[in-house]
Structure 1
């Protein structure tokens, strides 16, 4: 079990053959707290078997791979050549970290390392869509899902390629610090604040630039009006297109329908209000366009996995734990760690 000081430690595994994009992406998310974020941030270390080649770059890790089991979270970046078995020392270190209680996440083809370590046996997992068949063929005991951005299976998480790796990293921040902090990180990095893990990987459709798709003006317009009763017709009228055309564009840009996307935004806004205010559930229901506390509780529980009141208590317990770890609390001993709140 991890002690209180270990709760925010993140170790990035680096060996010859790792992809530099995923490694750099994870370092960018976890290494420095965005301006204005006051919660205790992550202590990030890069672990490897000595100087390694990551893409075309030479990297000198901070510590050896034997340091991985001391981290709360271990990130395994993409593995460049999936036709070659990953190094045994890396596989053994990742397995040892998980056995020691670490949360282990792979980015892109890093899933091949987790599979070699046996961490994906009997689990649902994903990787870059171009390599899902290879992963399933080499490791038939893994339930490979080729159609999602990432899979959160508790202590083991896997993501698809490139942009989906960012989605998974932000998901980890959201689990640890809540939606408000994760959204702040996303704004600093100029990326979408939340894409559900179950969203399609967009095999044939590139992720649009923030201002280069048909819904670029509509999405922020809707986000500013979540407290209002919006319909598909309202959104179509604002976008100056038919409801059917709007639905096609939503599927292309967001991977889901207009109403499902709208509901997700309302739920995320409710999470932020639960984290950052003392407003009652009835007031939050009104502020997010849910109408009544009953409606909010139904949709919130179905999407997040727990009722709003439980989410608020869990988040605040986690915040108190983080403050204690940073030396910001005195008096009574800290409460035990709170399990992550399931995300929809």
Structure 2
């Protein structure tokens, strides 16, 4: 899969490295051809850095996935050349993602009219007033509209890229990369952009993270909150608080999402038979699987397969 990441003058090195960390590192199992494309052969990044750009912007016309990682400022015009590349990508059926303020470029290209979208929480009001035909999701950390995706801030850009990797290579690969990067396993896009979290380095959070990793490996069990609290040496109330801080959701909602992710991975690998897939991924039956899919994706499993499997 050819993935074009668009660079520009005064880009944040962190924003540029976010999609590179997910798609371009050598530990990514399903090798993708990653191309950094720009209008010039070298850009001046913030912090006094200079970055050589190996591919011209036109090279993005050959990519199946085009990603714009952020933009300098909402009041600074985005070059027409970048907007045209994004528009052409969408017209030929490529996946297009605008990370953080990169959503403004997708809006300028007309790709978000009538669609759900998000951007950084501090610029949502500007986004709404400038593009009234977009359905702004003010709480989402990223929004997946099929072949058009937008995300909130930098950390959310990582979530969005991992989500894209799950679509390209399956949830197992995306979760493996997340663990390698030492970031939380895939968070759903509907989680709040701003939540209070306990101290990340606390022993309690490490115990909760390990417990969630164990559940992710095998989400077919049905442990109660009391059982998990005993396992982690925490009170039920404290465990609930830490789970919500770590995942942005309740145990039940997160476990449902983990099971849906496992089912998605099975679908992408060619598994068939809803009842069998339901059992392997932790659902009681096909009806429960369909219900969970609608809650998480707004689609039936069949609709999701049709929409999300890329050739």
Please classify the TM superposition score into its range, dividing by the shorter chain length: 0.7 to 0.9
The alpha carbon displacement at 1:165 in A equals 0.5
> Does the aligned pair in 1 maintain the 2:15–2:69 contact within 8 Å?
yes
Aligned to 2:239: 246
- CA–CA separation in structure 2 for the residues paired with 1:15 and 1:67: 14
Q: 1:47 aligns to what SS in structure 2?
A: strand
261, 280, 288: which one pairs with 2:254? Answer: 261
105, 117, 125: which one pairs with 2:117? Answer: 125
Q: Which has the larger radius of gyration?
A: 1
Q: Tell whether 2:15 aligns with 1:42.
A: no
Aligned to 2:56: 64
Deviates more, 1:144-153 or 1:202-211: 202-211
> Does the aligned pair in 2 maintain the 1:105–1:158 contact within 8 Å?
yes
Q: 2:163 aligns to what SS in structure 1?
A: helix
> Does the aligned pair in 2 maintain the 1:210–1:216 contact within 8 Å?
no
- CA–CA separation in structure 2 for the residues paired with 1:209 and 1:162: 20
> Does the aligned pair in 2 maintain the 1:32–1:42 contact within 8 Å?
no
Aligned residues: CA RMSD = 3.0
Q: Deviation string for 1:7-49 (max 9, x for gaps)?
A: x1111111113222121111222224526x3x4x211111111
Identify if the C-alpha distance between structure 1 residues 45 and 257 changes in structure 2 by more than 3 Å, giving closer, same or farther. same
- CA–CA separation in structure 2 for the residues paired with 1:101 and 1:270: 25
Q: 2:308 aligns to what SS in structure 1?
A: coil
Matches within 5 A, 1:137-176: 137-176=129-168
Identify if the C-alpha distance between structure 1 residues 297 and 155 changes in structure 2 by more than 3 Å, giving closer, same or farther. closer
Instruction: Return the TM-score normalized by structure 2.
Output: 0.84
Aligned to 2:11: 18
Instruction: Return the TM-score normalized by structure 1.
Output: 0.77
- CA–CA separation in structure 1 for the residues paired with 2:83 and 2:199: 32
Identify if the C-alpha distance between structure 1 residues 274 and 210 changes in structure 2 by more than 3 Å, giving closer, same or farther. farther
Identify if the C-alpha distance between structure 1 residues 239 and 285 changes in structure 2 by more than 3 Å, giving closer, same or farther. same
> Does the aligned pair in 1 maintain the 2:99–2:150 contact within 8 Å?
yes
> Does the aligned pair in 2 maintain the 1:180–1:272 contact within 8 Å?
yes
Matches within 5 A, 1:1-344: 8-34=1-27, 37=29, 39=30, 41-50=31-40, 51-56=42-47, 57-205=49-197, 208=200, 213=205, 215-223=208-216, 226-272=219-265, 282=275, 285-300=278-293, 302-304=295-297, 305-307=299-301, 310=302, 339-340=307-308
Q: 1:79 aligns to what SS in structure 2?
A: coil
The alpha carbon displacement at 1:140 in A equals 2.3
> Does the aligned pair in 2 maintain the 1:232–1:259 contact within 8 Å?
no
> Does the aligned pair in 1 maintain the 2:196–2:245 contact within 8 Å?
no
Deviates more, 1:159-168 or 1:229-238: 229-238
Pairs aligned (count):
306
- CA–CA separation in structure 1 for the residues paired with 2:288 and 2:267: 16
Q: 1:194 aligns to what SS in structure 2?
A: coil
- CA–CA separation in structure 1 for the residues paired with 2:234 and 2:100: 36
- CA–CA separation in structure 2 for the residues paired with 1:23 and 1:211: 32
The alpha carbon displacement at 1:303 in A equals 3.4
Identify if the C-alpha distance between structure 1 residues 244 and 130 changes in structure 2 by more than 3 Å, giving closer, same or farther. same
The alpha carbon displacement at 1:62 in A equals 1.9
> Does the aligned pair in 1 maintain the 2:198–2:242 contact within 8 Å?
no
